[in-house]
Amino acid sequence: MIPKVDFCTTVYEGYHHVLREAIEAIYKHAHRIIIIYGGDQWHHNEMAGQTTLLDMLPILPDPDSKIIVSYAIEPYKGKDEQTVAINDHLSPDATHAWYFAADEVYDTKQVGEVIDSLNLYTDHIDAFTFSWFCYFGDLTHYVGGWELQQQVRLFRIAEGQRFTSHRPLRTKDKMRMKRMAHCPIHHYTYLFPEQVEMKMRYHQTLNRNSDIEEGWFENVFTPWVKGNQFTRMAIESQRNGVHPFKMRMRQATPTVECNLRNHPVVIDTQELSKRIKQEWTQLRIKQS
């Protein structure tokens, strides 16, 4: 039997900088692409009047009518509720569901290789995990160490298994997992300053006991991006890396240099670097 994979994502307002590239990378291999669009009340208030997914839809090519977009009438109570909403749109004949965040991009060829191998694990594996590269500050650095942990993304759903939570992603309490080492996730999360700043503010606003270090965007991320090699080394040495979690909540997270050829072919590194630079300019104007 040929595996039929529904790709699924949940999108908050303001978090879709590379969604077009993410969809382009998986499109040819997808049975269906499900986008659950919305967010909680905080994001609805924060992004009122700004660019939304509705503005992006015309640039999301869909020649085979694979893309389904679901819009929430009311804000979701949280990420778990938004993720569970995927279940209402899964194809009846889908064998697997592959979750991808709106800022996660794969290599198209590697995705095909994973799907081609799924029949080898039909009876004894419930989910598959992937390593990830979380790019930091620019496209030539990613966060190493503790941040390189495995992420579960691909689930077998042929026997009625459905999403039950987002953190962690689950379709049932106990899952038998297989690591897919040859298909890493390329995570474009610590790049666009407005997105990074909003994400940090979101966690600190809603949770006073947040694991996020207070002032991380101003005191770590911004000076690291703007600084020279010695400034970056000093920041990482002082904090045992760059991850925004408080140091007691994590292990070492040093940055690692990488080549631009590390990125999937759907990523135009020159164009993406230009967009990141433009957002820094816009943020500086907004704060002045």
Domain 5-128+152-180 has CATH 3.90.550.10: yes
Domain boundaries, the chain: 5-128+152-180, 189-287
Q: What is the DSSP pairing of strand 151-156 with strand 96-99?
A: antiparallel
Whole-number Cα distances in Å, 23 to 16, 27, 28, 127, 130:
11, 6, 9, 21, 18
**CA atoms within a 13 Å half-sphere pointing along the CA-CB vector of 101:** 19
Q: What pLDDT, on the 0 to 100 scale, is given for residue 121? A: 86
Predicted structure pTM score: 0.93
List pLDDT tens digits, range 134-151.
999 999 999 999 888 889
List pLDDT tens digits, range 217-268.
999 999 999 999 999 999 999 999 999 998 888 899 999 999 999 999 999 9
Q: Helix crossing, 19-26 with 108-117: angle to 10°?
A: 50
Rounded distance between C-alpha atoms, residue 38 and residue 12, angstroms: 5
What torsion do the CA atoms of 243, 245, 246, 248 make, to the nearest 10 degrees?
-90
233 CB neighbour count, 10 Å cutoff: 13
Residues 205, 199: contact at Cβ < 8 Å? Answer: no
Mean pLDDT, all residues of the chain: 89
